[in-house]
Amino acid sequence: MTRKELEQYIGPRGRVSDILNRVRPLTLDMIRRLASGLQLPAEVLIQLYKLRRDGEELEAA
């Protein structure tokens, strides 16, 4: 998918970029829209992953 296509599920271009670059975590609403719109099990999207901030990596729930 392109970033433009993800905007309908995640929000504005900047937010999509932040999600893809692991600067910002997915919100519950984003997870619901992605799961519903892309026919994905929510469990795929609800997993721990590392976020990047100022060169350091943080855990996201």
DSSP-H helix ranges across the chain: 3-10, 13-20, 28-38, 42-45
**Rounded-to-integer distance, Cα 30 and Cα 11, Å:** 8
* pTM of the complete model: 0.80
Report the alpha-carbon distance of residue 41 to residue 32 in Å, rounded.
10
Q: Residue written as tokens 């893809």?
A: 20
Is the pLDDT at 55 greater than 70? The verdict is: no
Tell me what the mean pLDDT of segment 3-28 comes to.
95
Which of 41 and 53 is assigned the larger pLDDT? 41
Residue 55 to residue 2: CA distance in whole angstroms: 26
